[in-house]
Structure 1
Amino acid sequence: MSSRERVLARVRRALADVPREERPQDVVVDRGYLEVHGSRTPAQTVDLLAENLADYRARVHRTDAADLPGLLARLTAEREAETVLAASGLPAAWVSAVGSPDGVATVVTEHDGLTLADLDGVDTVVTGCALAIAETGTIVLDSGPGQGRRRSTLVPDHHICVVDCGAQVVDSVVRALERLDLTRPLTWISGPSATSDIELDRVEGVHGPRMLEVVLLDPPL
């Protein structure tokens, strides 16, 4: 018996008790999945997000609105970035921070004329996000204001992403899907881009940034 014949035989056995006239839409399937795994306070949800982001090898920073510009300047300076791409729609204070004397020499604002060659010359890209998912340590971008186009966050080697913990953190993928516009170009990021070969040697920066830094912006007290 060939592999094809074995597979078809298994299908026939699985369908043996199904009436021939029955159609998939005739049977209601219970999909009572858990929307959230466990019970958490908002603060615990943010802590879980930070833990899972770090588990995926993202560098995680916690700050408030007053200290955010200084942190952005420090992160770009530590990277010795000479060119930083600021996603269109970022707050002016963030953009000026990475271009301050403590930051980098050149800030490029995203525009239609940027080519892939231009993006390849960018050291760091700074964006916001649409949502962050605590249970999976995932950042979701939908190309909205302050998030940049997809290629703008995939070509540069260093991505700094700011998450508003008061408005953008959800518990689970289910909760994220309830809030996202699925017709938009969604980019789901769980840590730096990485892959492994058959020997399980990890290589980072294959389909995106080699380094992901996530800044968790605490809400006002």
Structure 2
Amino acid sequence: MNAREEILGRIERVVATRAAAEVAASYDRIDRGYLRRHHEDGVLDLFAERVADYRATVLRVSAAEVPSVIAERLATRPGSCGVPGDLPSEWTSAVDAPLVRDPSVSSLDGLAGAVTGCAAAIAETGTIVLDHGVAQGPRALSLVPDYHLIVVLAEQVAPDVPEALERLDARRPLTFVSGPSATSDIELSRVEGVHGPRTLEVLVVE
């Protein structure tokens, strides 16, 4: 390391430390007197209802039923489906359809769909959040294929937004999914599949 690199490194460390301290102080000054939770009971019922309101298909299953239900849903999709390399193998143990683990970006457009897990879900808004960590794959896997099946575990469902956000790392690439991709920008006519999957199916594992 030469003198220039050492000086710039010192400056960067000081600026980064000050910036972090300022952000932390600003964060601590936020008034959090708002209601943090609107629901105590029936959280999974509410989540399933809100997700269905977005025209997504919701299937409530037990952990033992996950492999057979995933196999059944994928059997209706012609072609291969992409899955993250670290998707639990038991989830797809009954699947006969061809699966592509960790598909390349160039192959995504040719896939019939994708199967992933998620990082969290929000009952109040019917939203599923992917941070593209374990069992979720890169963001492109959840956006390019026309069909997306998401497995949501009961313990991943938070009653409301504040609790869900506390479970997430804001430094990760977060994708918030509220139903199939859709827009009504043109003459207020709803068009699905514009910037993401046209069909969304959600397995809620109780």
TM class by shorter-chain length? 0.7 to 0.9
Whole-Å separation in 2 of the counterparts to 1:213 and 1:130: 16
Query: Residues 86 and 95 of structure 1 are in contact (CA less than 8 Å); yes or no, is this contact kept in structure 2?
Result: no
Shift in CA distance, 155/169, structure 1 to aligned 2, threshold 3 Å: same
How many positions carry a matched residue from both structures? 179
What's the CA shift for 1:179? 1.1
Shift in CA distance, 181/119, structure 1 to aligned 2, threshold 3 Å: same
1:66 aligned counterpart, secondary structure: helix
Whole-Å separation in 1 of the counterparts to 2:56 and 2:170: 25
Matched, 1:68 2:66: yes
Shift in CA distance, 29/188, structure 1 to aligned 2, threshold 3 Å: closer
Q: 1:204 aligns with which of 192, 195, 206?
A: 192
Q: 1:164 aligns with which of 132, 136, 153?
A: 153
Whole-Å separation in 1 of the counterparts to 2:58 and 2:164: 21
What's the CA shift for 1:77? 1.1
2:94 aligned counterpart, secondary structure: helix
1:97 aligned counterpart, secondary structure: coil
Identical counterparts, % of pairs: 53
Shift in CA distance, 85/173, structure 1 to aligned 2, threshold 3 Å: same
What's the CA shift for 1:29? 6.9
What's the CA shift for 1:32? 1.4
Residue in structure 2 matched with residue 36 of structure 1 by the alignment? 37
Whole-Å separation in 1 of the counterparts to 2:30 and 2:84: 43
Residue in structure 2 matched with residue 57 of structure 1 by the alignment? 55
TM-score (norm 1): 0.77
Matched, 1:88 2:85: yes
Query: Residues 123 and 159 of structure 2 are in contact (CA less than 8 Å); yes or no, is this contact kept in structure 1?
Result: yes
AA paired with 1:179? R
Whole-Å separation in 2 of the counterparts to 1:141 and 1:198: 28
Query: Residues 142 and 148 of structure 2 are in contact (CA less than 8 Å); yes or no, is this contact kept in structure 1?
Result: yes
CA deviation map 1:175-200 (0-9, x unaligned): 11111111011000000000013421
Whole-Å separation in 2 of the counterparts to 1:156 and 1:69: 21
Segments ≥4 residues shifted beyond 2 Å: 28-31, 95-98
Query: Residues 88 and 145 of structure 1 are in contact (CA less than 8 Å); yes or no, is this contact kept in structure 2?
Result: no
AA paired with 2:159? D
Residue in structure 2 matched with residue 124 of structure 1 by the alignment? 113
TM-score (norm 2): 0.83
2:71 aligned counterpart, secondary structure: helix
AA paired with 1:216? V
Whole-Å separation in 1 of the counterparts to 2:99 and 2:37: 40
AA paired with 1:175? E
Query: What RMSD in Å do the two structures reach over aligned CA positions?
Result: 1.5
Judging by fraction of residues, say which structure has more helix.
2
